[in-house]
Amino acid sequence: MRSKFAIVTTALSMMIALVSCSKDPLANLTEEESRIYITNYDSTAQFSAYKTFSISDTVAVINNGQGSKQSNATDLAFVNAVKQNLQARGFTQVSRTSNPDLAVNVSRIYNTSAGVVRYNDYYDYYGNFYDPFYYGYGGFGYYSPYSYASYSVTEGALTIDLLDLKNARSSNRINVIFTGLIRGSGIFNSSTAGEQVKTIFDQSPYLKTL
């Protein structure tokens, strides 16, 4: 009887020990591994037709729909990394008053509500802080030819968007022709900003004017 009890309890203990060590996928991810980079572009856009771009040193901060502009060290690191990557792809930075072909917007998005980001929704807020007048196209609206749903949101995201100013007058709107979205842990870190922006560009080889 004692040996039976010992065998059964040993078997039970081993089973519980072996089964209970199930891996938690999230605990097995570093901050870098937790991040995802999603890019999308307007398939009708000819990127080689754009030569110049303008970018602000401030980023838009969208916090549950409330927008503001900010520029801290991390924001500047992202803006500078975007500049460098665009220049490496052959684009020339010009001032916003020099008729740039592209406007580049970098935004921080904080969304603590249910987990979907749709571009058409957040571009509705765009006019509040990136007034088309800023780029010399007062009265024009923003338009995104596509939208995408993202995953559940518990922290911030960063977006890098390219807007078509070159054809704004002929189309009577400012088309969004490229979007890069970074989500995950530890995004807003100046020491990894360059690496994160590089990942966005690395997976977007079409983004060039050379």
Q: For binding to another protein (CB under 8 A), which residues are involved?
A: 3-4, 7-8, 11-12, 14-15, 18-19, 21-23, 25-26, 28-29, 33-43, 146, 148, 150-152, 183-185, 199, 202-204
Phi-psi region of 197 (alpha: psi -120 to 50; beta: other; left: phi over 0): alpha
What are the structure tokens assigned to 133, written together?
A: 């007048």
User: 3-class DSSP state for residue 194?
Assistant: helix
Of residues 56, 102, 53, the one with CA closest to residue 76 = 56
Contacts of 190 (CB under 8 A, 6+ apart): 73, 74, 76, 77
User: 3-class DSSP state for residue 64?
Assistant: coil
User: 3-class DSSP state for residue 164?
Assistant: strand
**Are 92 and 209 contacting, i.e. CB atoms less than 8 angstroms apart?**
no
Which CB atom, from 124 or from 195, has the smaller least distance to another protein? 195
CB of 127 to another protein, least distance (A): 25
Which CB atom, from 32 or from 131, has the smaller least distance to another protein? 32
CB of 160 to another protein, least distance (A): 14
CB of 92 to another protein, least distance (A): 25
Which CB atom, from 93 or from 147, has the smaller least distance to another protein? 147
- The CA–CA distances, whole Å, from 178 to 3, 40, 106 equal 70, 6, 12
CB of 62 to another protein, least distance (A): 19
Of residues 184, 132, 135, 134, the one with CA closest to residue 158 = 184
Which CB atom, from 42 or from 67, has the smaller least distance to another protein? 42
CB of 21 to another protein, least distance (A): 7
Residue type present at position 95: S
Which CB atom, from 33 or from 121, has the smaller least distance to another protein? 33
Which CB atom, from 132 or from 184, has the smaller least distance to another protein? 184
CB of 17 to another protein, least distance (A): 9
